[in-house]
């Protein structure tokens, strides 16, 4: 807690100094030009106007510096509150289906660390829906919905859907507890070469979240690939023994993937 306080204080001070340098440079040029111009121009009206501009620059200098020094802390506090509000918008309890997962992912905009993963997960959901529709269309053309072959394949597709939904719900839980600002601050401290043991430990926790989500994405991709293989096998099904063997291989591979979801618990 103490180290987080000093880290926040350091970042606030750096931000204030940067803003003061830029602001005072601009106002200084403004004041200098107005003052020098007032001495060089001829005529009452131009001189008065330049003097007014110089006074305006001075007033701006005073008000601006006070606002930057005393307003930076409030600005950072507001940004932190906004970040926390965004975290609270990740609803986990109401997520029941892949459609709910997609909606939840679409509303996450503050986790820049996971932006590519979020795009990938949403793409996986849409790919699954496409393949699910294709599998069921082909099945309905080849088999009756009451036949064992149809029911067997449809059960596997439903299993893939349930696993993907559960995986993404676990990812949403990770997202809900991930402190994006804290992670970025820890990375900046690490890059400065003056990282504390507690910050290093925090980075390890953040990276564990990132690794977990990467494994979930990889697992979903593997299931989607097998689902595509399943679609190909269904399209080739005949009554021959060889086709039945191939059918069993693909289904068994998918069932193994579904049963091995303990890897992502």
Q: Which residue has the tokens 């719900």?
A: 169
Considering the domain architecture, whether residues 68 and 33 belong to the same structural domain is answered as yes
CB 250 within 8 A of CB 229: yes
Q: Which of 44, 71, 88 is the last residue of a domain?
A: 88
Considering the domain architecture, whether residues 59 and 147 belong to the same structural domain is answered as no
How many other CB atoms sit within 10 Å of the CB of residue 5?
9
Q: Report pLDDT for 102.
A: 93
Considering the domain architecture, whether residues 33 and 137 belong to the same structural domain is answered as no
Considering the domain architecture, whether residues 258 and 167 belong to the same structural domain is answered as yes
Handedness of CA 77, 213, 102, 91 (dihedral sign): negative
Rounded Cα–Cα distance for residues 231 and 136 (Å): 9
Considering the domain architecture, whether residues 125 and 224 belong to the same structural domain is answered as yes
pTM above 0.75? no
How many other CB atoms sit within 10 Å of the CB of residue 183?
20
Q: How many CA atoms lie within 13 A of 174 on its CB side?
A: 24
Query: What's the domain range around 224?
Result: 92-265
Write out pLDDT tens, residues 180-234. Answer: 888 988 898 888 887 788 888 989 999 999 999 999 999 999 989 988 888 887 7
Considering the domain architecture, whether residues 131 and 173 belong to the same structural domain is answered as yes
Q: Which residues 6+ apart lie within 8 Å of 232 measured at CB?
A: none
Considering the domain architecture, whether residues 150 and 212 belong to the same structural domain is answered as yes
CB 257 within 8 A of CB 226: yes
Considering the domain architecture, whether residues 53 and 69 belong to the same structural domain is answered as yes
Task: Say yes or no to pLDDT of 15 above 50.
Answer: yes
Q: Which of 60, 88, 116 is the last residue of a domain?
A: 88
Considering the domain architecture, whether residues 199 and 252 belong to the same structural domain is answered as yes
Considering the domain architecture, whether residues 120 and 225 belong to the same structural domain is answered as yes
Considering the domain architecture, whether residues 151 and 55 belong to the same structural domain is answered as no
How many other CB atoms sit within 10 Å of the CB of residue 112?
11
Rounded Cα–Cα distance for residues 141 and 160 (Å): 22
| Comparison of pLDDT for 16 and 96, the residue scoring more | 96
What whole-number percentage of the chain has pLDDT above 90? Answer: 24
Maximal CA-CA distance, the chain? 106
Domain count, the chain: 2
Write out pLDDT tens, residues 125-139. Answer: 999 999 999 988 888
Q: Which of 88, 116, 151 is the last residue of a domain?
A: 88
Considering the domain architecture, whether residues 60 and 190 belong to the same structural domain is answered as no
Q: What is the dihedral of CA 23, 25, 30, 35, to 10 degrees?
A: 130
């Amino acid at each position: 807690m103490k180290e987080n306080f000093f880290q926040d204080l350091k970042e606030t001070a750096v931000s204030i100094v940067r803003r003061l340098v830029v602001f005072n440079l601009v106002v200084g040029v403004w004041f200098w030009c107005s003052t020098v111009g007032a001495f060089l121009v001829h005529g009452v009206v131009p001189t008065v106007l330049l003097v007014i501009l110089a006074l305006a620059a001075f007033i701006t200098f005073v008000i601006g510096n006070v606002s930057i020094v005393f307003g930076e802390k409030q600005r950072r506090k507001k940004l932190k509150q906004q970040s926390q509000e965004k975290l609270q918008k990740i609803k986990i309890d109401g997520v029941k289906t892949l459609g709910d997962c997609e909606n939840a992912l679409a509303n996450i905009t503050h986790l820049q660390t996971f932006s590519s993963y979020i795009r990938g997960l949403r793409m996986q959901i849409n790919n699954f829906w496409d393949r699910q529709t294709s599998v069921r269309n082909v099945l309905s053309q080849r088999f009756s919905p009451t036949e064992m072959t149809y029911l067997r394949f449809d059960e596997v597709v439903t299993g893939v859907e349930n696993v993907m939904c559960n995986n993404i719900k676990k990812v949403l839980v990770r997202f809900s507890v991930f402190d994006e600002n804290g992670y970025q601050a820890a990375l900046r401290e690490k890059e400065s070469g003056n990282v504390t043991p507690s910050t290093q430990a925090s980075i390890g926790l953040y990276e564990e979240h990132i690794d977990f989500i990467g494994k979930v994405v990889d697992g979903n991709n593997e299931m989607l690939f097998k689902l595509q293989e399943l679609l190909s096998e269904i399209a080739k099904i005949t009554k021959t023994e060889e086709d039945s063997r191939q059918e069993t291989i693909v289904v068994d591979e998918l069932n193994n993937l579904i049963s091995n979801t303990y890897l992502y618990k």
